[in-house]
Amino acid sequence: MARPISHLPGFTPIAMAVFAALYLPLVILVFYSFNAGEDLAHWEGFGLHWFAKAWENDQVKDSTIRSLWLAAVAAVISTVVATMAALGTTRRARFKGQTFIYVMINQPLMVPEIVTAVALLIFFAWFKVTLGYQGMGYLVLAHSAFCIPFAYLPIRARLESMDLTLETAAADLYATPFATFRRVTFPLLLPGILAGMMLAFVTSLDDVVITVFVKSAGQDTLPTYMLGQIRRQVSTEVYAISTMLLGLTVVMLVAFMALTRKKD
């Protein structure tokens, strides 16, 4: 009988080293975000001074509201498109070109993000020059397109794990395809849809590369604002903002795991 991988020599120290490399910087970040002093390298006592300062910063408020609005809109759009794509690629017999469609849907996951960002910059530059429009629509479209595969994967996984018996029974009882979807498929699929939407929301919320390349002047999101601040001077205020953003991300990911967890 094969030995479990956890029993192999050196597994425990290697695993501990990997987890330390992944999570120790986050622990240090959170720890120093509660530093009461100005010196980033020395602990001067516990305090919430930097959280209060970040909360009173109008630029932080504006960029946070913009980030949340953009992530919410992009998550809704990408989830709707991903749901239709998942239904079209799972609730029918296999057809020629299905693998190609699957690859194209997941293209943002396989292509380096910087390549996607440059392509979007070139694509939207023509519209900005031609139409003279410099609004948030470009960021909404860019984030929505980039988030589609993140919403698509959990929705497709949910569809593939669903039993077709109830849908077949509804069809046998003369339910129309739309009635079957509304009364049977959608309620069963809803946890996957919510999980995909939350994953798309988190992905959009912390995106930097695509946002930097696509945004116009005065359209900073919270991550791009933090990047600009770090280029000037690293302050504990940035630590505090990072901690709050990390907390929101953890809450969303825990909810995502709860929704996608299979029940016995």
pLDDT in tens, 80-139: 999 998 888 887 767 777 778 878 888 888 888 888 889 888 888 888 888 888 888 899
Q: What is the pLDDT of residues 179-191, one digit of tens each?
A: 888 888 888 888 8
* Other beta carbons within 10 Å of 62: 15
Query: 57 vs 7, which has greater pLDDT?
Result: 57
Q: What is the DSSP string of 169-229?
A: HHHHTT--HHHHIIIIIHHHHHHHHHHHHHHHHHHHHT--HHHHHH--TT---HHHHHHHH
3-state secondary structure of 43: coil
The dihedral built from the CA positions of residue 97, 101, 121 and 231, taken in this order, carries a sign that is negative
Average model confidence (pLDDT) across the chain: 82
Check residue 262 and give its pLDDT: 53
Encoded tokens for 216: 């116009």
- Cβ burial 19-35 (10 Å sphere, 16+ → b, else e): eeeeeeeeeeeeebbbb
Compute the distance between CA of residue 150 and CA of residue 74 in angstroms, rounded to an integer: 12
- pLDDT bin (cut points 50, 70, 90) of residue 219 is confident
CATH code of 58-260, in short, is 1.10.3720.10
Residue 99 to residues 43, 82, 90, Cα–Cα distance (Å): 55, 16, 12
The set of residues, in sequence order, having a beta carbon less than 8 Å from that of 253 and lying 6+ positions away, is 198, 202
- What percent of the chain has pLDDT above 70? 91
Q: Do 146 and 203 form a contact (C-beta atoms < 8 A)?
A: yes
From first CA to last CA, the distance across the chain in angstroms is: 28
Q: Where in the chain is the domain with CATH 1.10.3720.10?
A: 58-260
Check residue 260 and give its pLDDT: 64
Mean pLDDT value of segment 202-218: 88
Q: What is the pLDDT of residues 37-64, one digit of tens each?
A: 776 667 777 877 778 877 777 888 888 8
- What percent of the chain has pLDDT above 90? 12
E strands, 26-66, in order: none
74 pLDDT higher than 90:
yes
Check residue 264 and give its pLDDT: 39
Q: Do 67 and 222 form a contact (C-beta atoms < 8 A)?
A: yes
227 pLDDT higher than 50:
yes
CA dihedral 101, 103, 107, 110 (to 10 degrees): 180
Query: 42 vs 175, which has greater pLDDT?
Result: 175
Check residue 259 and give its pLDDT: 67
Q: Do 210 and 113 form a contact (C-beta atoms < 8 A)?
A: yes
